């Protein structure tokens, strides 16, 4: 079974040092780097066309009669399931509205729910994913009883912090859960992003920020933290990665939300005998070990974004949410670890390079609010082509890696619960 190899990791670090030293960039051997990365990667024969995407986006324009004040796009029947998530919502006031939403690739049906002026549910209609227009009236809505519990769509973001060096691929160096909603449905200029730091399994200190892809700093009126308390409140050290503002302008004018300067401080707020922040793995092991592992409460902050145009707020779908890690690299530089679609973005620091263009991602975006991530040191799935052996908590992951058009719901099947947190 192919597992993490410390010698290969060390060799990769040596190879990468050439690129991060300005006087020796010509020494970087991309072919050697890719060969070593492929060897270290957990799945043999990975699909070279893999995009690591588990979701799709579409827009539906809903026109409604006057009795319908607001509408929601839901991921399942809200009268038959407690798992229905709100993928998009808006006031409509008997007019029309275009709602853009993100759903899992496997989803073939969406559900549109209507509400009256008092917020009472009027019923739903099921339509095929990809439907572009919908005329909504009380006559077409079905109301088979009382609506069940719904929640706002939440995605889980999982990271390896070591980019561009591959490591153990347990994807628990940073685990975030993010949801979004309009806090006042009548005000479509304002959107809340609720960000929860669930776990930190890295062997180094790192910061995190969140890039709003395709949304400029100048598109936003303000960003404030609901309750005013940042996740890294009372941070005791000099800031190295992000400033102490709630939001900032990226290198290319992007809107960027500063999440925290140090994940370990957010989770534990502890220092060692020298006054340095302790590098402890939080919520990646089921047992605690002094100075090494700890179990801690997750930490949440809600960022209230006021946009200058309501259309921009409507357009903030999950594919535009790109949280990223900032960490110290070779020779004192800084690396940014992004979601796969933005792997080479250098949002706050001029660091990332397309020299690391390969099929490997140091981040996973899973459209599941309660996705159980691997324990420390346990790869999400290992596959050895020579022996045809597969092992890990999510066996379907290896098949998805070998063919990105299959096993699109691998994250729904947990094969070994003892291997996840």
Give the tens place of pLDDT for each residue, 39-93. 889 998 899 999 999 999 999 999 999 999 999 999 999 999 999 999 999 999 8
The reported pLDDT for the residue numbered 97 is 95
Beta carbons of 318 and 153 less than 8 angstroms apart: yes
Residues 213 and 182 in one domain: yes
Residues 180 and 303 in one domain: yes
Residues 135 and 165 in one domain: no
pLDDT at 15 over 90: no
Q: Which of 92, 118, 152 is the last residue of a domain?
A: 152
Asked if residue 254 is part of any domain, the answer here is yes
What's the rounded mean pLDDT across residues 164-185? Answer: 95
The reported pLDDT for the residue numbered 146 is 92
Asked if residue 110 is part of any domain, the answer here is yes
Alpha-carbon span 165 to 238, nearest angstrom: 27
pLDDT at 26 over 90: no
The reported pLDDT for the residue numbered 14 is 57
Asked if residue 216 is part of any domain, the answer here is yes
Residues 191 and 75 in one domain: no
pLDDT at 239 over 80: yes
Least confident among 209-218, 307-316, 349-358, 362-371 = 349-358
CATH code: domain of residue 68: 2.60.40.1120
Confidence bin at 283 (pLDDT 50/70/90): very high
Residues 325 and 185 in one domain: yes
Task: Output 359 or 128, whichever has higher pLDDT.
Answer: 128
Confidence bin at 352 (pLDDT 50/70/90): low
Percent of the chain with pLDDT over 70: 93
What's the rounded mean pLDDT across residues 129-134? Answer: 98
Asked if residue 159 is part of any domain, the answer here is yes
Q: Which of 152, 171, 195 is the last residue of a domain?
A: 152
Query: How many other C-beta atoms can be found within 10 angstroms of the C-beta atom of residue 341?
Result: 17
pLDDT digits (tens, 9 = 90+) for 390-415: 999 999 999 999 999 999 999 999 99
Residues 222 and 190 in one domain: yes
The reported pLDDT for the residue numbered 2 is 44
Residues 134 and 168 in one domain: no
Judged on CB neighbours under 10 Å (0-12, 13-18, 19+), 49 is exposed
The reported pLDDT for the residue numbered 9 is 55
What is the domain range of residue 221?
6-40+153-380
What's the rounded mean pLDDT across residues 207-228? Answer: 97
pLDDT at 24 over 50: no
Asked if residue 239 is part of any domain, the answer here is yes
The reported pLDDT for the residue numbered 23 is 42
Residues 119 and 203 in one domain: no
Asked if residue 187 is part of any domain, the answer here is yes
The reported pLDDT for the residue numbered 17 is 55
The reported pLDDT for the residue numbered 20 is 47
Confidence bin at 6 (pLDDT 50/70/90): very low
Q: Which of 152, 187, 207 is the last residue of a domain?
A: 152
The reported pLDDT for the residue numbered 27 is 64
What's the rounded mean pLDDT across residues 7-13? Answer: 55
Residues 140 and 208 in one domain: no
Residues 158 and 134 in one domain: no
Asked if residue 233 is part of any domain, the answer here is yes
Torsion angle, CA of 264/267/271/275, rounded to 10 degrees?
Answer: 50
pLDDT digits (tens, 9 = 90+) for 320-339: 999 999 999 866 789 999 99
The reported pLDDT for the residue numbered 4 is 44
Residues 102 and 190 in one domain: no
CA distances from 41 to 4, 167, 274, 382, 404 (A): 8, 8, 37, 9, 16
**Rounded to the nearest 10 degrees, what angle do helices 30-40 and 6-20 cross at?**
150
How many domains would you assign to the chain? 2
Average pLDDT, the chain: 92
Asked if residue 191 is part of any domain, the answer here is yes
Percent of the chain with pLDDT over 90: 81
Beta carbons of 56 and 75 less than 8 angstroms apart: no
The reported pLDDT for the residue numbered 280 is 96
pLDDT at 18 over 70: no
CA 362-364-370 angle, to 5 degrees, is 140
Residues 112 and 175 in one domain: no
């Amino acid at each position: 079974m192919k597992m993490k190899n410390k010698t290969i990791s060390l060799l990769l670090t040596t190879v990468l040092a050439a690129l991060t030293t300005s006087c020796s960039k010509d020494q970087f051997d991309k072919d050697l780097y890719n060969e070593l990365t492929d060897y270290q990667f957990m799945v043999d024969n990975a699909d070279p066309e893999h995009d690591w995407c588990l979701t799709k986006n579409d827009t539906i324009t809903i026109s409604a009669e006057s009795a319908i004040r607001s509408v929601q796009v839901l991921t399942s029947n809200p009268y038959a399931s407690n798992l229905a998530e709100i993928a998009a919502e808006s006031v409509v006031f008997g007019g029309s509205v275009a709602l853009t939403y993100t759903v899992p690739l496997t989803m073939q049906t969406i559900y549109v729910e209507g509400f009256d002026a008092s917020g009472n549910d009027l019923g739903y209609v099921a339509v095929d994913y990809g439907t572009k227009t919908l005329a909504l009236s009380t006559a077409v809505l079905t109301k088979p009883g009382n609506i069940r519990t719904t929640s706002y769509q939440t995605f889980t973001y999982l990271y390896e912090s070591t980019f561009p060096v591959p490591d153990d691929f347990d994807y628990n160096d940073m685990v975030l859960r993010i949801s979004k909603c309009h806090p006042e449905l009548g005000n479509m200029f304002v959107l809340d992003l609720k960000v929860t730091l669930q776990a930190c399994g890295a062997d180094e200190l790192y910061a995190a920020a969140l890039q709003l892809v395709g949304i400029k700093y100048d598109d936003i009126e303000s960003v404030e933290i609901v309750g005013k308390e940042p996740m890294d409140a009372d941070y005791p050290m000099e800031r190295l990665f992000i400033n102490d503002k709630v939001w900032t302008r990226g290198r290319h004018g992007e809107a960027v939300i500063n999440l925290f300067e140090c994940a370990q401080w957010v989770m534990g707020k502890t220092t060692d005998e020298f006054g340095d922040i302790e590098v402890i793995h939080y919520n990646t092991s089921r047992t605690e070990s002094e100075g090494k592992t700890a179990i801690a409460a997750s930490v949440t902050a809600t960022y209230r974004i006021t946009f200058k145009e309501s259309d921009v707020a409507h357009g903030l779908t999950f594919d535009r949410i790109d949280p990223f890690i900032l960490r110290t690299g070779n020779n004192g530089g800084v690396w940014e670890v992004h979601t796969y679609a933005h792997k080479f973005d250098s949002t706050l620091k001029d660091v990332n390079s397309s020299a690391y263009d390969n099929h490997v991602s140091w981040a996973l975006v899973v459209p599941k609010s309660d996705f159980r991530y691997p324990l420390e040191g346990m790869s999400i799935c290992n596959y050895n082509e020579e022996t045809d052996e597969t092992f890990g908590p999510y066996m379907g992951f290896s098949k998805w890696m070998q063919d990105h058009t299959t096993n699109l719901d691998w994250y729904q099947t947990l094969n070994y619960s003892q291997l996840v947190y």
